Amino acid sequence: MRRETLALLAVFAVLALVPVLAELTGQTSWTRLVGQALIYGMAAASLNFILGYGGMISFGHATFFGIGGYVVGILYFHFDEGTRFLGIIPGTGQMLLTLPAAILVSGLAAALVGALSLRTGGVQFIMITLAFAQMFFFLFISLKTYGGEDGVMVRRTNSLPGLNMRDKATLYWVILVVAAGYYLFLRQLVRSSFGQIIAGIRQNERRMTAMGVATYRYKLAAFILSGMGAGLAGALMVNFLRFASPDMLHWTRSGELMVMVILGGVGTLAGPFVGAAALTIIETLLSRLTEHWMLPVGVLLLAVVLLSRGGLMALIARMTGGRGK
Amino acid sequence: MILLTEQLLNGLQYGVTLFLLAAGLTLIFGIMGVINLAHGAFYMAGAFAASWVAIQTGSFWGGLLAGLLVSGLIGVLVEVGVIRRLYARDHLDQVLATFALILILNQGTVLIFGRQPLFSSMPEIFSGSVEILPGLPYPVYRLFVIVVGLTVAAGLYLLINRTRIGMLVRAGATNREMVRALGVDIRRLYTTVFGLGALLAGLAGVMASPIVSVQVGMGDEIILATFVVVVIGGVGSVKGAFVAGLLLGLADTMLRAFLPSLLAQVMSGPEAQALGTGISSMGIYLMMAIVLLLRPRGLFAAQG
Amino acid sequence: MSRVLEIAGLVKSFGGLTATDHVSLTVESGEIHALIGPNGAGKSTLINQICGELAPSAGRIHLAGQDITRLRADERVALGLGRTFQITSLLEDMTVRQNLGLAVQVREGRNFAFFDNVARRREIWDETDAALAETALGPRAGVLVADLSHGEKKQLELLMALARRPRLLLLDEPMAGLGHLESQQMIETLAAARTGCAMLLVEHDMEAVFALADRISVLVYGRIIAVGKADEIRANPEVREAYLGEEEA
């Protein structure tokens, strides 16, 4: 077996043992922490696909994270009430239905935002993605039916046939399996013919056009795929935390996702997961020590951006003697 | 009619505030090519310094001076310490570094002043109202803010069109390389422009301090609207920032004032209120999206 | 002989300035047609209109009989219009082999495949390796483009354009910045490639122009003042005055 495969299996095994170890040592909050880090890792990895591999600096990625979450929340709300969404779509609490629905809806939203935003570039692209994110943010705030600013509660985690999803450890393992699957999906995507075109567009869009590539189409496809990934992560998060709120779509959340990508290492597969874990753990540990935890996080981020190139993944690569990207 | 005039003036006041913030930001964008998310922190710094000094000394004017000094100083420090290293970096690094600055400056402010909002009073001579239309008393202070904003706009116009530094600024916003080629001390020009931008943002904060609650995070809310102004006006164009600032200030205020009651005529009260507020908050972003789709470089694009 | 490129009455004005002034020009199949002219004559503006980076104010451009005046740049490439850039434009973070491989991949299609592995697409890499082996770039296949010399980048760019198997190749100053030896190599490469496609060659290097071109058009102040074979152009008094005279001075 190749070294990379071995490393991935080892990491997966360790992560799978987290609930058991947490139970044994009495540190049960670790399961929650690592689960959250895995979900943010997926969201950050989906952003990294357009940001790191595709060179599109989207400042509104939390939108799709939040939309995915709201799909779960709204479907549960109607399931609970026995009503229909817009009088047509019945609610559900089945994960096999809610996750695909979340992926689909966030993909549609990404198609809309991407189709318009990708007509611009540079600073304007950053700002227009931010503008769309704000629009969705205020849209969800104004939906009184679904709790407005407070968001919507999901009193029971979505169910999966044959599993007791109310058990925290079971839910954690489901999240781990989905996250691992998503990691493998991204790895495949980066190696594919499509991934190669995307990498080319990041490096030199004019050259790709001169080669006969209609770059807009490829960028849009990447944007949609990325939004779908964020939607999936958001759907898991709402299952995990059992509520969806506009806070998931706030622009600082988009900023945090970018921070995770940069912290871990732009344009690497594992980087966003490492960055998400680092940020989640740092935040949790620091917030136990001081209410001013944002200050050291800000300093750390500033130091990473100004001083290091390549984030934590480059550091790990240097330490293990491998080569960084 | 009375209500409309009042809201028009409110919109104008919000508009000049946006302009004060956007003028600096658009120059920093246009000349140095830096996206500074932390520009709202200068607004917050100005407001905090002014309120604190005004509360301590009882003098609004002392507060004004303190607010300008502190915001300008922080601006220069931030430029020399951080922004200077970002000129050659890509937008992603700039966004993240200045996002980090927001965290640092916000928490720094919490450390110094705590989480409780500060409330300062406005100067005696501006505390009353004046009847500008029969039956419409309007706070003098708000009129004062409008006058200050318009005066600064006129001053900036003269500075940019009539002075040597203004000439460099104009040249820089259109063609960065050219200014470099002219052998100008770029570093000093950049620090000056950045400091001036921070000062204007600080002035906006000072002006707002008696009429809004001065608290941590106040800069984050207004900075997004400011970015919308900059992008709609055209990156690098002070004239664009002025036009777009007033336009957005008016549009935003009008939507918030009248949309909920318009909606209430077709749906139930509380829902109309929530939806109206939501849609009016979306208004400026919707305007920006439309402008960018029609004119990808904004209304008064400086860079060709 | 069929006509590969036909430009008719092309006009481009920027405000009051007419950068392209009713230019008409043809390139026949198998022909190398050189476009020469002093700096500021409007060569780049003309090239950019043919490529689709600038929209003309008036006039028509036909590629192999098809009107491409309103098509996007990438659509023109798909119809058989290849180009090289005056300042080389490549994928700097990729190796020579990856750059050429990507050009082959784009031509081969299946670019929306999410679940294949590009490293295992034999048809791409066989062709890439064979093409590289025939050139001086063969031993440099694994080198990052950012580490190539200027001449090597020009070579690679030409290979990438040819990989598309274009009907017409637009060459924007392929000799610019090359040493004498490299220029000789480039002339040989172009001469070898002419059997495959027609070329519109914009070039300052007169040695290269006279060595390669079947016909020469002279562009001055946005207008074509003369078209003809090398001897006719050399003998044309108007050209001598407007252009060659300048060179000799």
CA distance B8 to B12: 6
Cβ distance A192 to C118 less than 8 Å, yes or no, reads yes
Chain C residues within 8 A (CB-CB) of chain A? 51, 72-75, 77-78, 83, 85, 89-94, 102-103, 105-107, 110-119, 121, 160-161, 164
Give the structural domain span for B75.
2-120+136-294
What is the identity of the amino acid at C138? G
CA distance A189 to A184: 9
CA distance B175 to B173: 6
Cβ distance A306 to B85 less than 8 Å, yes or no, reads yes
At A65 the pLDDT is: 98
Give the structural domain span for A311.
3-320
Cβ distance C121 to A206 less than 8 Å, yes or no, reads no
Cβ distance A127 to B93 less than 8 Å, yes or no, reads no
| pLDDT tens digits for range A140-164 | 998 888 988 899 999 999 999 988 8
The answer to whether ipTM exceeds 0.90 is no
Give me the helix-helix angle, C180-193 and C150-163, nearest 10°.
10
- Is B26 within a domain? yes
DSSP state of A248: G
Strand ranges in A64-151 using DSSP code E only, listed in sequence order: 84-85, 89-90
Name which of A128, A138, A259 is nearest B96 (Cβ-Cβ). A259
Domain count along chain B = 1
Domain count along chain A = 1
CATH code for position A78: 1.10.3470
Mutate to test the interface with A, among C106, C107, C159 (most CBs of A within 10 A): C106
- Given a cut of 50, whether residue A124 has pLDDT beyond it is yes
Spatial neighbors of A131 by CB under 8 A, at least 6 apart, are A60, B228, B285, B286, B288, B289, B292
Beta bridge partners of B136: B133
- Is B304 within a domain? no
Name which of B104, B271, B292 is nearest A144 (Cβ-Cβ). B271
- Is A325 within a domain? no
Structure tokens at C190: 């172009």
> Domain map of chain C by residue range?
1-80+166-249, 92-165
At A21 the pLDDT is: 92
Cβ distance B110 to A306 less than 8 Å, yes or no, reads no
Mutate to test the interface with A, among C47, C74, C104 (most CBs of A within 10 A): C74
CA distance B23 to B233: 10
pTM: 0.91
Cβ-Cβ contacts under 8 Å, A221 against chain C: 112
CA distance A190 to A229: 14
Closest CA to C225 of C36, C17, C12: C36
Beta bridge partners of C6: C26, C62
Per-residue pLDDT of chain C (249 residues; tens, 9 = 90+): 588 999 999 999 887 788 899 999 999 998 999 999 888 788 889 999 999 989 999 999 999 999 999 999 999 999 999 999 988 899 999 999 999 999 999 999 889 999 999 999 999 999 999 999 988 888 999 999 999 999 999 999 999 999 989 999 999 999 988 888 889 989 988 998 888 899 999 998 888 999 999 999 999 888 999 999 988 888 888 887 776 555 443
CATH architecture of C1-80+166-249: 3-Layer(aba) Sandwich (3.40)
Name which of C90, C121, C164 is nearest A212 (Cβ-Cβ). C164
Mutate to test the interface with A, among C63, C68, C77 (most CBs of A within 10 A): C77
Spatial neighbors of A210 by CB under 8 A, at least 6 apart, are C51, C73, C77, C83, C85, C89, C161
At B169 the pLDDT is: 76
- A308: nearest CA partner in chain B: B93
| pLDDT tens digits for range C64-99 | 999 999 999 999 999 999 999 988 899 999 999 999
- Is A91 within a domain? yes
- Is A15 within a domain? yes
- Is B69 within a domain? yes
